């Protein structure tokens, strides 16, 4: 039996008819861009995130760029962010002409170490982007306190963590100025292409992002800002409106899969199961283990032989990417990020994963690591 990392066809079998029906009005009316389904989705996501406003856009990467632009971050400004994240987080910072300041991460929960903010901040630091990695929220109260005393704006990158909870609050009610979401198909709430959203409790920021996503245009053919074309399609929003009804159930199925892995992997020598902070509830966008003793790559090779899906999120921390060589950061400068990049591996965790498939993954891990 092969076990894919993610099986979107299984999800389609469950909801395909409903999604097709939900798309029909958009096709009938040809209201393809920013139509009624987009407005409905914005309202539902704002409410789901316990926030006020949501602005749909073309991707999670664009959501980060829109958030930075709305906050007035630009050339000459610095932005603190974790090095151990998907490249989009830092790519957005560099794309708008600001400078990333890379922080190290907690080796247990993989998220930014809040103490790094004090170490890295300078008078030019305008924003911080904590990334809620793999489905678990960062220590937001500490991060907000560190940023507020320094006048640093906070953008929460929740591309992997819509609906994750911190101290009983959903991300969106966690203090940041803007929360960014991605609807890339591998996220817990994925569309059928690219899509993203910015969530905020600040009406003025929401209005600015609404204008910025449409060429900075307000009113028509008048441009107070230089914006971009980053709008959400009505068809994608229609699909997402259907999926919203299933989202909590899918999160819960992932948590049950995770609990099963936790129990079965707990005693396996050399494997560190994901650590979820007691104040957090993860949505397990990824179930990421650490493998000791330099055996991660052997495990990956063994999975490949057996047809078991996996991914290495992420093999190179951002501060050591080739495109940032001019920053002059040397190996050893962010030890936790570098260690994580060497020993993490993510296992199949999608909601439809069967118990037989989980058992196969666990058996393979034991067999490969014992060899």
Which CB, 106 or 360, lies closer to ligand PLP? 106
- Specify the stretch interacting with ligand PLP by CB under 6 A; choose among 14-22, 154-162, 222-230, 292-300: 154-162
Strands (E) across 138-267 are located at 153-157, 165-166, 169-170, 178-182, 196-200
Which CB, 85 or 241, lies closer to ligand PLP? 85
Q: From the CB of 86, what's the least distance to ligand PLP, in Å?
A: 4
Binding mask 61-90 for ligand PLP (x = CB under 6 A): x-----------------------xx-xx-
CA angle 195, 41, 4 (to 5 degrees): 50
Residue of 83, 174, 182, 214 interacting with ligand PLP (CB under 6 A): 182
- Specify the stretch interacting with ligand PLP by CB under 6 A; choose among 54-62, 209-217, 256-264, 345-353: 54-62
Residue of 56, 100, 172, 196 interacting with ligand PLP (CB under 6 A): 196
Which CB, 138 or 153, lies closer to ligand PLP? 138
Q: Are 273 and 309 in contact (CB under 8 A)?
A: no
Distance CA 339, CA 316 (A): 10
Residue of 60, 82, 114, 130 interacting with ligand PLP (CB under 6 A): 60
Kindly provide the b/e burial profile for residues 253-292, where b requires at least 16 CB atoms within 10 angstroms of the residue's own CB: bbbebbeebeebbeebebbbbbebbeebbbbbbbbbbbbe
Q: Are 274 and 107 in contact (CB under 8 A)?
A: no
Provide the 8-state DSSP code for 198.
E
Q: How far is CA 150 from the centre of its chain?
A: 26
Which residue number places its CB atom closest to ligand PLP? 60
| Residues of span 88-147 touching ligand PLP by CB under 6 A | 88-89, 131
Binding mask 246-265 for ligand PLP (x = CB under 6 A): --------------------
Q: What element of type H or E holds 86?
A: none
Residue of 59, 105, 109, 234 interacting with ligand PLP (CB under 6 A): 59
Positive or negative, the CA dihedral 169, 287, 87, 123 is: positive
152: nearest Cα among 89, 58, 72? 72
Q: Which residues bind ligand PLP (CB under 6 A)?
A: 59-61, 85-86, 88-89, 131, 157, 159-160, 182, 184, 194, 196
């Amino acid at each position: 039996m092969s076990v894919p990392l993610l099986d979107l066809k299984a999800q389609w079998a469950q909801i395909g008819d409903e999604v097709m029906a939900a798309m029909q009005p958009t096709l009938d009316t040809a209201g393809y861009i920013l139509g009624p389904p987009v407005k409905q989705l914005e309202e539902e996501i704002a409410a789901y995130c316990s926030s006020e406003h949501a602005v749909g856009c073309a991707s999670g990467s664009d959501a980060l760029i829109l958030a930075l632009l709305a906050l007035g971050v630009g050339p000459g400004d610095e932005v603190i962010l974790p090095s151990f994240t998907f490249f989009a987080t830092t790519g957005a910072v560099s794309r708008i002409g600001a400078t990333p300041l890379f922080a190290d991460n907690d080796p247990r929960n993989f998220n930014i170490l809040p103490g790094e903010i004090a170490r890295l901040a300078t008078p030019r630091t305008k924003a911080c982007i904590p990334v809620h990695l793999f489905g678990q929220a960062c220590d937001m109260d500490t991060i907000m306190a560190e940023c507020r005393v320094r006048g640093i704006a906070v953008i929460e990158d929740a591309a992997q963590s819509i609906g994750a909870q911190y101290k009983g609050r959903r991300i969106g009610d966690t203090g940041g100025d803007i929360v960014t979401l991605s609807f890339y198909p591998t996220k817990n709430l994925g569309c059928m292409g690219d899509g993203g959203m910015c969530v905020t409790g600040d009406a003025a920021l929401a209005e600015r992002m609404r204008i910025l996503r449409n060429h900075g245009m307000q009113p028509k053919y008048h441009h107070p800002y230089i914006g971009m074309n980053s709008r959400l399609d009505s068809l994608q929003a229609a699909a997402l409106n259907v999926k919203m009804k299933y989202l909590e159930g899918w999160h819960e199925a992932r948590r049950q899969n995770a609990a099963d892995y936790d129990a079965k992997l707990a005693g396996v020598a050399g494997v560190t199961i994901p650590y979820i902070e007691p104040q957090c509830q993860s949505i397990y966008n990824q179930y990421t283990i650490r493998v000791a003793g330099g055996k991660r790559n052997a495990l990956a090779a063994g999975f490949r032989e057996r047809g078991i899906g996996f991914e290495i999120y992420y093999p190179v921390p951002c501060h050591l990417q080739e495109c940032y060589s001019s920053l002059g950061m040397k190996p050893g400068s962010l030890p936790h990020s570098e260690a994580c990049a060497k020993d993490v591996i993510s296992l199949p965790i999608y909601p439809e994963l069967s118990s037989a498939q989980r058992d196969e993954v666990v058996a393979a891990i034991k067999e490969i690591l014992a060899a």
